[in-house]
Amino acid sequence: MAGERTNKRRGRTQSLLPSSSTSYDRPNSISCWYCDFKIFAFNDLLFNLGWQNSRFLKKWFSLGVCFSLFAFVGVLMMLLWYLFGSFRHENGSFGFDSYLASSWSISMMDAGIMILSSLMSVAFHEFGHGIAAASEGLQIEYISIFLAILFPGALVALNYDLLQALPSFAALRIYCAGVWHNVVLCAVCALMLILLPLVLCPIYIHGEGPIVLEVQQTSSLSGFLSSYDVIVSVDGSKIRTSDDWMKMMVQINAQTFSKPHSLEAQNYRAISARKGYCVPYSWLERSMTLLEEGDQFSCPNKLAAFESMSCFNSSLLAGNRNRIKETGDKYCLTAKDVIKLKKCGTGWQMTETDGINCFCSEEESCMTPVQIPGISWVEISYTSPYSSECLQHRQNLSSTDPENPYLGSSSCGGTFVYVGDVLSVAHSIQLSSYRPRSTHIIFSAHIPFILEKTFVCTLLVSASLVYLNCLPVYFLDGESILEKCLGYVTWFTRRQQRKILQLCLLGGTVLSIIVFSKFLYSVLAIS
């Protein structure tokens, strides 16, 4: 977080961060709750760079003032909208807290990316203040990296008296420079995310199936998916990127919990009355009927419970319907064999016309899986193009039929069924939308993921700094921006301007604390 930029000596009160010439005698400060490290080596470099390009930089930061003032008003409106609008939404979270709670745990790599993104964002923010001050002829006293309690930050120290002697708009350019530079950094990160597929195109394939980078040991998918497997489809719907994977899982979860359940939690029933398979009657006759115990039923190990779908099938013969009723409509079947059959029902996410109704042939019945209410049944198809078995299979096929090196054997992937909470399992694997074109550089599969996550994290951190420094609160850029803006309101006396400033800062600080507390409580409550 960016700290206060200047030594504001009001009256005879001693400043916490002295920026007078006496500060050179004690280059570093340390106490039980605050410590900092002052850097003087870049003072002349920043001043020369800013002063030599002052004409261009003044125009550049004048544009930043215009944007920052619009952002200042916009952030204030967002703050009020979040505070009062949240009372009409559950927990005041607008649906974001469930995602944050599901992604609460982070890996060491995630932590490293967050630290790097924070350092880049804060450094670019402070560079904006320093170079803007230099363009106005104001000498930088020092650059400080500090730790206040547990919160890190940085600041560019300027002499407050010299800053106050500058014209109001010149001082406003300096105060708004940090916000403006963070906005520019956000735009650069967004542009890089858009151009990243094009930049990496010679080495990586994008949008043709996400590659698995890591599977958590506690994940339910650890026995089915391995590193460098490629997700092909979910419930028959093509998965092209990691975003498609998450959107599909969210959609399936919403579909599961949107259905009313009349049975109690301990009872069993069909997951979805719209998701089924066309099972031959010969299979049903050979299968074991369910062993009923009270209101529950169960199947032997390695078998899954199925029941006939409650929808009209015009192709069923009357004799077949009677045969089903005589033996019962619940059966134990082998799931890995059933999922290879033709799909029926309208619960599948697939966009193809095949398998979007309840109709099967006259020798088949549409059977749907039976599970606990609120639990999803999901088909996941994958390939293993980088595995040694698949590479050997490709070589064998290429030698026998060079024009058709088909990767269709079991060694190159398959389809399995996951039954459970789809949102938790969706976050238990790490996916990348970029796949190496060559199997010889598979070790580089993590590079696009790291780049993409770094750009996203830097964009979010920079946007957060824009938001924080546009708030009318104490000790941040919003305080100085508001003070200079009130100076243009000529119908107030200087004393009245100070009172209005203190009132706005007090209200903005209290309002920000309330909103932040509400948001933090909603996230912690759902996690």
- Whether 469 and 520 map to the same domain: the answer is yes
What is the Rg, in whole angstroms, of the alpha carbon atoms belonging to the chain? 31
The number of distinct structural domains making up the chain is 3
- Whether 488 and 364 map to the same domain: the answer is no
- Whether 182 and 52 map to the same domain: the answer is yes
- Whether 461 and 393 map to the same domain: the answer is no
Does 126 qualify as catalytic in the annotation?
Answer: yes
In a domain, 447, yes or no: no
pLDDT in tens, 118-133: 989 999 999 999 999 9
Copy the structure tokens of residue 463.
Answer: 């946007």
Query: How many angstroms separate the Cα of 447 from the Cα of each of 13, 214, 454, 456?
Result: 52, 14, 11, 14
DSSP state of 24: G
Residue 269 has pLDDT above 50, yes or no: no
Q: In what order do the strands lie in the sheet with 151-158?
A: 28-30, 34-39, 140-148, 151-158
Percent of the chain scoring above 70 in pLDDT: 72
CB 252 within 8 A of CB 378: yes
Range in 168-182, 326-340, 415-429 with the lowest mean pLDDT: 326-340
User: Hey, what amino acid is at 71?
Assistant: A
Q: What is the per-residue pLDDT for 281?
A: 85
- Whether 213 and 121 map to the same domain: the answer is no
**Which pTM was predicted?**
0.75
Choice between 214 and 302, residue whose per-residue pLDDT is larger: 214
Range of the domain at 427: 204-251+380-436
How many helices and strands, by DSSP H and E, does the chain display? 15, 19
Which is it for the CA torsion 149, 151, 153, 158, positive or negative? negative
- Whether 112 and 56 map to the same domain: the answer is yes
DSSP string, 388-444: HHHHHHHHHHHHH-TT-----SGGGEEEEEEEE-HHHHHTTEEEEEEEESSGGGGGG
Calculate the average pLDDT of the chain. 77
- Whether 82 and 154 map to the same domain: the answer is yes
pLDDT category, 150, cuts 50, 70, 90? Answer: low
Residue 208 has pLDDT above 50, yes or no: yes
- State whether residue 205 is helix, strand or coil: strand
Choice between 322 and 358, residue whose per-residue pLDDT is larger: 358
Phi, psi (degrees; rounded to nearest 5) at 305: -85, 135
Copy the structure tokens of residue 7.
Answer: 């030594």
pLDDT in tens, 100-117: 444 445 678 888 899 899
Choice between 78 and 120, residue whose per-residue pLDDT is larger: 120
- Whether 43 and 133 map to the same domain: the answer is yes
- Whether 369 and 387 map to the same domain: the answer is no
- What span, in angstroms and rounded, lies between the C-alpha atoms of 151 and 122? 13
Q: What is the per-residue pLDDT for 288?
A: 62
Q: What is the per-residue pLDDT for 364?
A: 84
- Whether 47 and 187 map to the same domain: the answer is yes
Compute the residue count for the chain: 527
Query: How many angstroms separate the Cα of 275 from the Cα of each of 85, 405, 421?
Result: 38, 34, 17
Choice between 179 and 286, residue whose per-residue pLDDT is larger: 179
- Whether 57 and 118 map to the same domain: the answer is yes
Q: What is the per-residue pLDDT for 10?
A: 35
Query: How many angstroms separate the Cα of 183 from the Cα of each of 60, 67, 68, 475?
Result: 13, 9, 9, 20
Q: Give the mean pLDDT of 262-281.
A: 58
Copy the structure tokens of residue 412.
Answer: 């190159």
- What span, in angstroms and rounded, lies between the C-alpha atoms of 154 and 126? 7
Q: Please identify which of the residues 4, 126, 141, 479 carries the catalytic annotation.
A: 126
pLDDT in tens, 435-479: 998 877 888 899 999 999 999 999 999 999 999 999 998 888 999
- Whether 218 and 366 map to the same domain: the answer is no
CB 139 within 8 A of CB 160: no
